[in-house]
Structures are given as C-alpha cells and as structure tokens.
Amino acid sequence: MTIKLMQNRMGITDLPHYHKDTVEGANDMAEHLIARGGFPQQSRMIRDKRKSLDRATLYSYQAALVRKCLPEGYEVMEGARPDLPVRALINPDKTKLDYDDKIISIGFEHDYHPGDVFEWCNTKTYWLITL
C-alpha cells in the first residue's frame, strides 16, 4: 500500500479504470480530475498556474508585448516565431540609480532563457534576462 502512495506522490499513475457497474461515481470523479489537469494534485496546480498566467497576460495592467532579439546563427526552437511579439507580464522588482530590475513572466513555449535580450515593444527599450 505504501509503495502505491509513493508512486502517486511521484506522479506515477497507473490507476485502475473503474467501470460504472463496479464503483458508483468513480468514473465521474476521474473525468472531473482529468478535465482539471490530471490525477496528481501537482498536475492540477500546474494547470491552474498556467491558466492564471494566460489570463493575466490578457487583462493585467502589467501585460506587455515583447520580441526576442536574436544573434546571428541562433537556433530557433521548432514552432517558435521570434519575429512576432508575444504577450508577457513585466512586474517591477526594484529600482536603483544605476539599473532597473523587472520580473518577466512568459510561457515556456516562447523559449526565453537567461542571457536572452528582448525588446519591450510598448516602451521600445531593450532588456537582458539575468535569472
């Protein structure tokens, strides 16, 4: 029993398929969990966080358009379109006399990493991702 619990905590889910005639309501609960992101709670939390990010990039005051600046010979991830601006969240972190720190939140599919330079299209300024 404890091995099964550890497997579920680690995301290894080989859960049995319940038939409606064996356990009443089990299939309804399984369908509900799958629709919310999956059986493990962590999967549902990740899906909810992504949903919050997507909504915030549409409706938040901190939403901005950014475009990646690519050096010569840079390999582009398959399906990524770096020439098009994408929506991201840019939140203030701290302002110093010498520099201005911001926190950028953007989806993984846009392939932004530390060391990348991007243009903040709304302000026409260029920023370097450090962390």
Confidence check: pLDDT of 87 > 60:
yes
Q: What is the pLDDT of residues 116-130, one digit of tens each?
A: 899 999 899 999 998
Q: What is the pLDDT of residues 3-45, one digit of tens each?
A: 665 666 655 655 555 454 455 556 777 777 777 777 777 878 8
Do 50 and 101 reside in the same domain of the chain?
Answer: no
Tokens of 118: 């991007």
Token match 């601006």: residue? 85
Token match 């005639």: residue? 21
- Residue range of the domain that includes 121: 60-72+79-128
Confidence check: pLDDT of 65 > 90:
yes
Domain count, the chain: 2
- How many angstroms separate the CA atoms of 47 and 45, rounded? 5
Determine the pLDDT at residue 31.
76
Evaluate if pTM is beyond 0.85. no
CB 68 within 8 A of CB 112: yes
